[in-house]
């Protein structure tokens, strides 16, 4: 007699773990759709200085003026219904400094996502954003004493307007691209971090972004400044309920690593499969600084994300390590940009993508070396793994090298999970499902081993979930 295997699909599992929603909680919700009045309203409610409103309006105009990108998945992009999106939903009056100050159903959501528990175990600071605003914020006292600033962006603007004014929009200008423009117009929440000279923050600072409402647009804005010789790791996670209608997440993240600073930005993106995730992430690395983007994309309907590092000072180093997992109905269009604008700069791009079912992954990358960036070194490696016949992967690498004395390497592979690998593992006693999961986990190992332990466990678990039902 055979025992039927429990039929659990990824969607059921996502539903249970992350896809749940609680009744909407808001102290203010702007009407759906966007116009100039709404941009003014958001800025006014936040009590912002005039220069920020000007910046928002500049962003709004650029958003209207810029056409939708034509080089990407236009069918999906053109199905975004901008008029149906809620651009601003304020869930509470102000962020709580302890979880007790957070409204019960919102706190319960973050409890279910394990955030307070993670905070107790291994985090130096936590910010939790719900819809448009941060609802919880806290950082260890010793870091505060060392002068580390970790605030939600709105509070940051209130408390440190001079720093924000100086750096906001300098890495990613308002009119950089259509979605960065939209973010500039409508931004709310996100993190502002400043790490003073020489301060090394040993435990990660974490932000968690949660969308709960239907047709929500979340536009967080993050600025991280690592001053000379400082070190910091920032982690962001994100989930949303599974709704049949779409939500839009369009973040802008600007990183500035001053001379000899080390900045590491880790993302594990796990939006539900009705979220458009169109974000702009870019860093500046000054002399001898290192910026590392670790970018894991598992969720969303369409992700377009190409974290970049502008290597502006001699000896600066940039890295993008990314993993994309596209299941049926998903398109992960991810990549990296490395701009070498100084001598002796180096960059490494490692992209790993997995496509399953009808899922689609694209790697889009740019390596640019300006004249005078002598001895620039860049290594690009993209590996795509297809789990079945219908899945798809494309690679669009671009190299613009205007300097003679350089070392550039590019390697790309596309492979299917081999019958021989499966047979080998199965001959040792692994079921087909276990064998597939193991091969996939091995494939992303170069990424996972770079993650702090807690996140690598989390990532492996998420990949495991995606692998459910991989065997027909």
Partner 1 sequence: MTNPSLLIVRDLHVSVEGKAILKGVNLTVNAGEVHALMGPNGSGKSTLSFCLMGHPKYHVTSGQILYLGQDMAALPPNERAAAGIFLAFQYPTAIPGVTIANFLRAALRGVRGQDVPVKEFRQIVKANLNALGIAESFMSRYVNDGFSGGEKKRLEILQMAVLAPQLAVLDETDSGLDIDALKTVAEGINALRAPERGLLLITHYQRILNYLTPDVVHVLVNGRVARSGGPELAHELEAKGYETFRDQETVTPVAS
The residues that touch partner 1, with contacts defined as CB under 8 A, are 418-421, 423-432, 434-435, 438-439, 441-446
d(CA 89, CA 26): 7
Our CB check for partner 1 shows the closer of 145 and 428 to be 428
Instruction: Compute the Cα dihedral for 424, 427, 431, 432 and give only its sign.
Output: positive
Strand 149-152 and strand 191-195: the pairing is antiparallel
C-beta atoms surrounding 158 within 10 Å: 14
d(CA 116, CA 146): 24
């Amino acid at each position: 007699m055979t025992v039927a295997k429990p039929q659990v699909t990824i969607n059921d599992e996502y539903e249970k773990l992350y896809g749940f929603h609680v009744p909407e909680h808001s102290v203010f919700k702007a009407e759906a759709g966007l116009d100039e009045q709404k941009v003014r309203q958001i800025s006014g409610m936040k009590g912002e200085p005039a220069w920020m409103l000007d910046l928002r309006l500049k962003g709004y105009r650029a958003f209207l003026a810029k056409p939708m990108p034509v080089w990407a998945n236009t069918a999906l992009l053109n199905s975004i219904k901008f008029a149906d999106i809620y651009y601003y939903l304020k869930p509470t009056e102000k962020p709580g400094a302890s979880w007790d100050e957070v409204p019960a159903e919102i706190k319960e959501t973050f409890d279910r996502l394990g955030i307070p528990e993670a905070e107790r175990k291994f985090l130096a600071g936590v910010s939790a954003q719900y819809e448009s605003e941060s609802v919880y914020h806290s950082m260890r006292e010793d870091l505060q004493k060392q002068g580390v600033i970790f605030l939600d962006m709105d509070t940051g603007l209130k408390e440190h307007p001079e720093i924000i004014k100086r750096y906001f929009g300098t890495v990613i200008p308002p009119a950089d691209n259509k979605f960065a423009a939209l973010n500039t117009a409508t931004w709310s929440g996100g993190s502002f971090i400043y790490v003073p000279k020489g301060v090394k923050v040993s435990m990660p600072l974490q932000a968690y972004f949660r969308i709960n409402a239907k047709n929500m647009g979340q536009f967080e804005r993050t600025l991280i400044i690592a001053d000379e010789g400082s070190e910091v790791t920032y982690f962001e996670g994100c989930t949303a309920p599974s709704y049949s209608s779409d939500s839009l997440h369009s973040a802008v993240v600007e990183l500035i690593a001053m001379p000899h600073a080390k900045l590491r930005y880790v993302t594990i993106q796990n939006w539900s499969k009705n979220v458009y995730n169109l974000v702009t992430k870019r860093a500046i690395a000054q002399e001898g600084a290192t910026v590392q983007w670790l970018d894991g994309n598992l969720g969303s309907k369409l992700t377009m994300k190409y974290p970049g590092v502008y290597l502006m000072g001699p000896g600066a180093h940039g890295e993008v390590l990314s993993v994309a997992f596209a299941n049926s109905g998903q398109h992960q269009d991810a990549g990296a940009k490395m701009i070498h604008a100084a001598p002796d700069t180096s960059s490494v791009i490692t992209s790993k993508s997995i496509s399953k079912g009808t899922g689609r992954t694209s790697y889009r990358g740019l390596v640019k070396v300006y004249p005078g960036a002598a001895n620039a070194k860049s290594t690009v490696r993209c590996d795509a793994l297809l789990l079945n016949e219908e899945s798809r992967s494309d690679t669009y690498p671009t190299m613009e090298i205007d300097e003679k004395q350089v070392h550039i390497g590019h390697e790309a592979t596309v492979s299917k999970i081999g019958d021989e690998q499966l047979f080998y593992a199965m001959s040792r006693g692994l079921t087909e499902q276990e064998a597939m999961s193991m091969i996939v986990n091995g494939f992303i190992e170069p990424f996972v081993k770079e993650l702090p332990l807690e996140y690598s466990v989390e990532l492996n678990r998420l990949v495991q979930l995606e692998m459910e039902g991989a065997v027909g």
